[in-house]
Amino acid sequence: MTDFRERYADLGAFVHGKAPRRTVPLPPPPVPKPAQPTTAMTVEGITLAPASRLSALASTRDRHRARARMATDRGHQLREMISERETRIRLLAQRAAPGFEAEAEAQAAVIEAEVAQLRAAMQTASDEAAEASEAAGAAQSVLRAALKFALDHGATIPLLLAGEVSK
């Protein structure tokens, strides 16, 4: 037989009633870990499965992330408002008519008081963002540990959290 026919002789072996050439047997398929979900936990009469607990951890983390984003956005809005007020103060000082400087200074003092309040609110928003960010980081580390534990013990994890495992 030619090299071509020898190479493809096994393709038609069953069709022509011949036995195919013997080859090395394939290794056995890997034995999957049995799915052993962790013990169901009951909270206030509600039974939570492991997947539900992991989803609850993820939603807690997402809630903290959202709080941090909202506080950061609020801080940016306040920074813009402060910038607008400072621009108004500069314009008042530049455009003050002769003889009306006292009135311009009074208006500037009112605006400066608003700026002080806005700066205090911006500091509060910054503190809230830092606190929420720290809480989100802690929730993320707890979620990762729980996912690792679940995978090591063969528990079923929600499909939405499958991407969290590789991070």
Q: What is the mean pLDDT of residues 101-127?
A: 93
How would residue 138 be classed by pLDDT, with cut points 50, 70 and 90?
very high
Does some domain include residue 2? no
State whether residue 43 is helix, strand or coil: strand
Q: Is the pLDDT of residue 109 over 90?
A: yes
User: Residue 129's pLDDT is what?
Assistant: 96
Q: What is the pLDDT of residues 58-76, one digit of tens each?
A: 999 999 999 999 999 999 9
Residues in Cβ contact with 87 at an 8 Å cutoff, skipping those fewer than 6 apart: none
* Separation between Cα atoms, residue 127 and residue 38, nearest integer Å: 38
Q: Kindly list the distances between the CA atom of residue 44 and the CA atoms of 41, 48, 52, 131, 162, in Å, as whole numbers in the listed order.
A: 10, 10, 15, 29, 29
Does some domain include residue 84? yes
* Separation between Cα atoms, residue 70 and residue 65, nearest integer Å: 9
Does some domain include residue 85? yes
Does some domain include residue 8? no
Q: Is the pLDDT of residue 137 over 90?
A: yes
How would residue 49 be classed by pLDDT, with cut points 50, 70 and 90?
confident
User: Residue 16's pLDDT is what?
Assistant: 58
How would residue 95 be classed by pLDDT, with cut points 50, 70 and 90?
confident
Mean pLDDT of the chain: 81
Task: Evaluate whether 139 touches 127 at the Cβ level (below 8 Å).
Answer: no
Task: Evaluate whether 61 touches 144 at the Cβ level (below 8 Å).
Answer: no
Strand partners, 41: 48
Quote the strand ranges of the chain, DSSP E: 41-43, 46-48
Q: Is this structure's pTM higher than 0.85?
A: no
Does some domain include residue 113? yes
CA pseudo-torsion sign 157, 163, 166, 167: negative
Q: What is the mean pLDDT of residues 153-166?
A: 73
For residue 12, which amino acid is it?
Answer: G
Does some domain include residue 34? no
How would residue 7 be classed by pLDDT, with cut points 50, 70 and 90?
low
152 is in which domain, residue-wise?
39-165
Domain count, the chain: 1
Q: What is the mean pLDDT of residues 17-45?
A: 65
Does some domain include residue 16? no
Which of 21, 58, 36 is closest to 155 using CA atoms?
36
Does some domain include residue 13? no
